[in-house]
Amino acid sequence: MNLKKEILDILVKDAKLSNENIAAMEADKTILRYAAMVNTEKDENAWAEAFIELKVAPQKEFGYEDIARRIYMFHEVQDMYLMSGSSDLTIRVTAPTMKEIFKFVWEKVAVLDGVTNTETRFVMRKYKQYGEVLVESEKENRLVVTP
């Protein structure tokens, strides 16, 4: 395993490294930024979040990269991936309400040249994110039934 991979694995688990190691990884753009992880399950005012799967039809002069660039520039798009399988691109979007996500899809994404289909999947509840469990265990209150 190379040193950068080892350092990244350590950082993902616990971001306590020497300043020299961190500075080197910041300089070569391996580390892009630092962020806090917020448990949105505890926030009643958390924004709506959805994954939108896109099927696209790239052209000879206008391929996946061009279509992706037009989409990832929208401020609603938090993450974007080129995928294998039934969809070509998947984006994760956030907005104050589900209605605003729908509006984003039908007014900005679905109308783009090259986008042939969209399928929106709303995040209803997060159980685990980045290796952290976000929900507290709920003890079952059912009676034990024995024969």
Q: Check pLDDT > 70 for residue 109.
A: yes
CA separation, residue 102 to residues 86, 89, 132 (Å): 21, 17, 29
Q: Write the pLDDT tens digit of every residue in 6-31.
A: 767 777 777 767 788 788 888 989 88
The whole-number pLDDT of residue 130 equals 85
Mean pLDDT of 41-53: 91
Identify the burial level of 108 via C-beta atoms within 10 angstroms of its C-beta, where 0-12 means exposed, 13-18 middle and 19 or more buried: middle
Confidence at 68, pLDDT banded by 50, 70, 90: very high
Element (H, E) at 98: helix 98-104
The whole-number pLDDT of residue 138 equals 65
